[in-house]
Amino acid sequence: MSVRLGVFGVALAGVLAISVTPATAAPDSGSAAQALPAGTVVEPAIDCRPSSARPRPVLVLPGADGTTSETASQWEVVVSALRRQGACTLVFQGGVVDGRRWAGDMTGAARQLADFVAKVKDTTGAPRVDIVAHSAGSVVANYFVKVLGGTQDVHDMVLLTPEARGCDGAGFLAQYGIKDLPVTPVQVLEALPFLAPALAALSPEMASALQLSPVSAFYRTLMDGPIAQPGVSYAVMATKNDQVATPPGTCSFITEPGVANVFYEDVFPGSPAVDHSSLRSSPDTAGWIVAQLYR
Q: Report d(CA 54, CA 129) in Å as an integer.
A: 11
Of 21-35, 114-128, 190-204, least confident by mean pLDDT is 21-35
pLDDT of residue 204: 67
> How far out from the chain centre does Cα 260 lie?
17
Q: Report d(CA 100, CA 82) in Å as an integer.
A: 25
- pTM for the complete prediction? 0.86
pLDDT of residue 20: 35
> How far out from the chain centre does Cα 229 lie?
17
Question: pLDDT grade, residue 18 (50/70/90)?
Answer: very low
> 224 Cβ partners below 8 Å, 6+ apart?
none
Average pLDDT, integer, range 18-24: 33
**13 or 141, which is more confident:** 141
Provide the β-strand partners of residue 41. none
Mean pLDDT across the chain = 85
Q: What is the dihedral of CA 59, 65, 67, 73, to 10 degrees?
A: -60
Kindly list the distances between the CA atom of residue 176 and the CA atoms of 244, 247, 251, in Å, as whole numbers in the listed order.
11, 17, 20
Average pLDDT, integer, range 103-122: 96
Share of the chain above pLDDT 90, in %: 66
pLDDT, tens only, 228-261: 999 999 999 999 999 989 999 999 999 999 999 9
**Residues 32 and 200 sit within 8 Å (Cβ to Cβ):** yes
Provide the β-strand partners of residue 68. none
**154 or 175, which is more confident:** 154
pLDDT of residue 132: 98
Q: Peptide bond preceding 247: is omega within 30 degrees of 0, i.e. cis?
A: yes
**Residues 54 and 83 sit within 8 Å (Cβ to Cβ):** no
pLDDT of residue 37: 85
Give the E-state strand segments of 22-180 in sequence order. 40-42, 58-61, 89-91, 93-96, 129-134, 154-160
Provide the β-strand partners of residue 260. 235
CA angle, residues 123, 127, 133, in degrees to nearest 5: 85
> 45 Cβ partners below 8 Å, 6+ apart?
none
For residue 247, count CB atoms less than 10 angstroms from its CB and return exposed for 0-12, middle for 13-18, buried for 19 or more. Answer: middle
Of 90-99, 133-142, 172-181, 215-224, least confident by mean pLDDT is 172-181
Question: pLDDT grade, residue 23 (50/70/90)?
Answer: very low
DSSP of 228-292: S-TT-EEEEEE-TT-SSSSSTTTTT---STTEEEEEHHHHSTTSPP--TTGGGG-HHHHHHHHHH
Q: Report d(CA 31, CA 25) in Å as an integer.
A: 12
